[in-house]
Each structure stands twice: as C-alpha cells, then as structure tokens.
Amino acid sequence: MADGRFPEISDVNRHIGQVLTRAVPGRVDISWTPSEILCNPGGTVHGGYIAMILDNAVCLAAASTGERFVPMLTLNLNVDYLRAVRADETYTVAGTCVHPGRTRMYSTATVDDADGRPVARASASVVPNKAFAR
Ligand SMILES: CC(C)(COP(=O)(O)OP(=O)(O)OC[C@H]1O[C@@H](n2cnc3c(N)ncnc32)[C@H](O)[C@@H]1OP(=O)(O)O)[C@@H](O)C(=O)NCCC(=O)NCCSC(=O)Cc1ccccc1
C-alpha cells in the first residue's frame, strides 16, 4: 500500500464511491463521493454506509502498517455521527492506526466535509484476518 499499490479485493469501493488516495505506514486517506443509492428515506446517506467507510478506513490504516497487505477483521466499531452526509458531495476520510499491537490493533477514522467540518468519527479494534495470512 505504501508504494501506491492499493488492494482491490471486491467491488465495494465502486459501490460506495470511495477512492483510496494515499497510504503511508499507519495512515490512509480516502476520497468519498456517495451517490443517491446510499441514501435513506430521509434523503441523507444511511448511517450504515457511513459506518462502512469508517470501517474501511480503520482496517486499511491497520493494514498499512504491515510489510504486505493483509485484510483485517473488525472486533468493534464505535461511531459518532456528527452531521448529515449528502449524496454527490465529496468527503475526506482519514484512517490512523494509533496502536499497531502484535495481537490487537487500534485505529481511529474521521470523515470531514469539503469545508473541513467533522461529519463522523470512529474508533475500532482490528486483528489481521488469518484466513488471508497464509
Ligand atoms: C442533527 C444532529 C443529530 C445533532 O446536531 P448537533 O450535534 O446538535 O449540531 P448543530 O446544532 O450544530 O447542527 C448540525 C447540523 O444539523 C442540523 N440539525 C440540527 N438538529 C437537527 C435535527 N433534529 N434534524 C435534522 N437536522 C438537524 C443543523 O441545522 C446543522 O446543519 P447546518 O449547519 O445548518 O447545515 C447531528 O449530529 C447530525 O445530523 N448527525 C448525523 C446523523 C446522521 O446522519 N445519521 C446517519 C443517517 S440516519 C440513518 O441512516 C438511519 C435511518 C435508517 C433507515 C431510515 C431512516 C434513517
């Protein structure tokens, strides 16, 4: 990841409109432009999709600390929704691995709008998915 080659495991990136723009060990940046299909009946992006992109960010931040990419398993995800997310607007998502422990890795993630206002925050513990580590 740190050398600019990003994992393309499934088509979830395209489905939710995320583009991984940068990865250095312990930190990833994602550009997110959600489309209308992600909206709830109230017309704002469904909280489940906001949690999904935060989950992606915490996992990718943890994965970026390794020498090669290994998918993560999320053990818990705590999300605070601070402002509504709107379709067709572009958001900046940042994931940071705060504690790259040998057993448990702890990461945080943020979603900010184009004006730099905080929109959602998350923290999570993740572990490498051993099914992929062989
Ligand atoms: C609104 C509040 C909860 C509280 O706001 P505060 O912390 O007190 O902050 P502040 O007063 O500074 O206002 C900030 C902005 O909020 C606006 N605003 C204020 N009060 C209300 C209000 N009562 N209603 C609406 N908007 C309100 C206010 O005008 C301002 O906007 P502006 O600066 O003028 O443009 C905020 O934290 C929030 O929107 N969180 C995101 C929640 C979210 O998106 N959850 C996920 C999606 S839900 C889902 O998917 C579940 C589902 C499933 C299936 C079907 C359906 C649904």
Tens-binned pLDDT, residue by residue, of the chain (134 aa): 766 666 766 678 888 999 999 999 999 999 999 999 999 999 999 999 999 999 999 999 999 999 888 999 999 999 999 999 999 999 999 999 999 999 999 999 999 999 999 999 999 999 999 887 65
ipTM of the complex: 0.80
Domain presence at residue 95? yes
Cα distance between residue 81 and residue 35, in whole Å: 18
Indicate the number of domains in the chain.
1
Mutation choice for ligand 1 from 83, 89, 111, CB with most ligand atoms inside 8 A? 83
Predicted confidence at residue 4, as pLDDT, reads 64
Give the pLDDT of residue 9: 61
Q: pTM score, two decimals?
A: 0.89
Q: Kindly state whether residue 3 falls inside one of the protein's structural domains.
A: no
What CATH number is associated with residue 49?
Answer: 3.10.129.10
Residue spans of beta strands (DSSP E) within 5-87: 18-24, 27-32, 72-81
Amino acid making up residue 69: F
Angle at 54 between CA 49 and CA 55, to 5 degrees: 90
Residue at 2 is within a domain: no
User: What is the CA(71)–ligand 1 centre distance, in A?
Assistant: 33
> From the CA of 7, how far away is ligand 1's center (Å)?
33
Please report the atom of ligand 1 found closest to the CA of residue 84: 44
Expressed as residue numbers, the domain containing 116 is 11-132
